[in-house]
Amino acid sequence: MQSPTVRRIVGPTILLASGNYFDFLAPEESTFTIEDIATGLSNVCRFAGQCSRFYSVAQHSVIVSHHVPPAFAFAGLMHDAAEAFIGDVTKPLKDILPDYRALEERVERAVLGRFGLPHKMPPEVKEIDVVMLATEQKQLMRNRDDWNYTRGRQALDIPIPPMGPREAKAMFLAQFADLTTTLATAPAETEKPETGEAGR
């Protein structure tokens, strides 16, 4: 009879930095840490690596979290968290891989849900994500083609400094710690008392 450990690593699983295994067929049951996410995102390069220099998903995520309204900063930081396990597959490739889309959605639900976030990102996060794409194209790509996805968006006037995986991971974890501390200490909203017809 197989041991639980052997059975757990047979099939579509990957070994994480923490020593845990991530099971693509059961992401909801997988054990993973924020360090696993930071490690993965800091080592994954945006644009399938086809940019002028290394630019990690972790660095991108931190920048997004800084440019959304403060209420959405944590969602902005974590919006690509699933890519720590499934990689940063380019949008054109995703569009012709329906099976991948289904897997991506399931992993996203599991990962974001673990941190109390909805699977569907707020419009504020989605918008800055697209604005960042325009910003990254301007600074990190060779051409200035008019991409349909970013049409009408103005690139942010911010620098994107060179940053290696180790620094990006540290920055991601620091932002996570800062935002989760802020969330934990924020006063809870008080429930408003019911009013009469005029107040409805």
- pLDDT tens readout for residues 36-61: 999 999 999 999 999 999 999 999 99
Is residue 38 within 8 Å of 62, Cβ to Cβ?
no
- Asked if residue 193 has pLDDT above 50, the reply is no
The whole-number pLDDT of residue 159 equals 96
pTM value is 0.85
Beta-bridge mates of residue 22: 14
The percent of residues in the chain predicted with pLDDT above 90, rounded, is 73
The whole-number pLDDT of residue 187 equals 63
- Asked if residue 76 has pLDDT above 90, the reply is yes
**Stretch 12-28: mean pLDDT, rounded?**
95
- Asked if residue 173 has pLDDT above 70, the reply is yes
Banded pLDDT at 16 (limits 50, 70, 90): very high
Digit-coded pLDDT (tens) for 115-158: 999 989 999 999 999 999 999 999 999 887 888 889 999 999 99
The whole-number pLDDT of residue 8 equals 57
Tokens of 109: 């639900």
Is residue 44 within 8 Å of 88, Cβ to Cβ?
yes
The whole-number pLDDT of residue 10 equals 65
- Asked if residue 196 has pLDDT above 70, the reply is no
- Asked if residue 77 has pLDDT above 60, the reply is yes
Mean pLDDT of the chain: 89
As a whole number of angstroms, the distance between CA 159 and CA 174 comes to 20
The whole-number pLDDT of residue 199 equals 39
- Asked if residue 35 has pLDDT above 50, the reply is yes
**Stretch 56-85: mean pLDDT, rounded?**
98
Say if residue 66 is exposed, middle or buried (CB neighbours under 10 Å; 0-12, 13-18, 19+): middle
The whole-number pLDDT of residue 91 equals 85
Count the neighbouring beta carbons within 10 Å of the beta carbon of residue 18: 14
